[in-house]
Copies of this chain bind each other. A is one copy, B any other.
Amino acid sequence: MNIRLIVLGISAAACYAQPRPPSLKSPEVGADRRVTFRISAPKAADVRITGDLVASPAAMEKDGKGVWTLTLGPLDPDLYSYRFTVDGVPVVDPSNQAKPGTMLDVRGAGAAPYDLRAVPHGTVEERWYESKTLDLSRRVFIYTPPGYQKSNARYPVLYLLHGAGGDESGWVESGRVNLVLDNLMADGKLKPLLVVMPYGYAYPPMDPKASGADAMKRQRSGFERDLIDDVLPFVQANYRVYADREHRAIAGLSLGGAQALGTGLTHLDLFSRVAGFSPALGAVSSEEAGGLNFASTVADTKKVNAQLKLLWVGCGTEDTLYKSVESFSSMLQSSGVKSTWRSTSGAHTWLVWRKYLAEVAPLLFG
Contact = CB atoms under 8 A, between A and B. Distances in A.
Given A121-B128, A128-B116, A288 B3 contact: no
A238 interface: yes
B90 A279 contact: no
Contact of A337 (B3, B43, B238): B3
A6 B284 contact: no
B130 A118 contact: yes
Nearest to A308: B3
Given A9-B328, A12-B216, A219-B16, A124 B121 contact: no
A15 interface: yes
B258 A294 contact: no
A56 interface: no
A62 to B, nearest CB: 13
B125 A123 contact: yes
B8 A294 contact: yes
Each complex incorporates copies of this chain amounting to: 2
B15 A259 contact: yes
Interface string A315-331: 00000000010001001
B43 A11 contact: no
B14 A258 contact: yes
A259 B288 CA distance: 59
Interface stretch (A204-212, A225-233, A352-360): A204-212
A34 interface: no
B15 A295 contact: no
B44 A295 contact: no
A47 to B, nearest CB: 9
A43 B118 CA distance: 49
A64 B15 CA distance: 47
A16 B7 CA distance: 58
Nearest to A46: B43
A77 interface: no
A298 B45 contact: no
A32 interface: no
A7 B7 CA distance: 69
A14 B12 CA distance: 55
A187 interface: no
Shortest Cβ-Cβ A-B pairs, 6 listed:
A14-B282, A11-B284, A121-B128, A4-B295, A11-B282, A124-B126
Given A3-B265, A6-B332, A121-B128, 17 more contacts: A3-B335, A5-B295, A6-B337, A7-B294, A9-B331, A14-B284, A15-B255, A16-B220, A19-B164, A41-B88, A43-B45, A116-B137, A118-B137, A121-B127, A123-B126, A125-B126, A126-B178
24 contacts: A2-B298, A3-B337, A4-B295, A7-B261, A9-B284, A10-B261, A11-B288, A13-B213, A14-B282, A15-B164, A15-B258, A16-B205, A19-B165, A40-B89, A41-B89, A42-B87, A86-B86, A90-B91, A90-B94, A92-B92, A121-B129, A123-B126, A124-B125, A149-B238
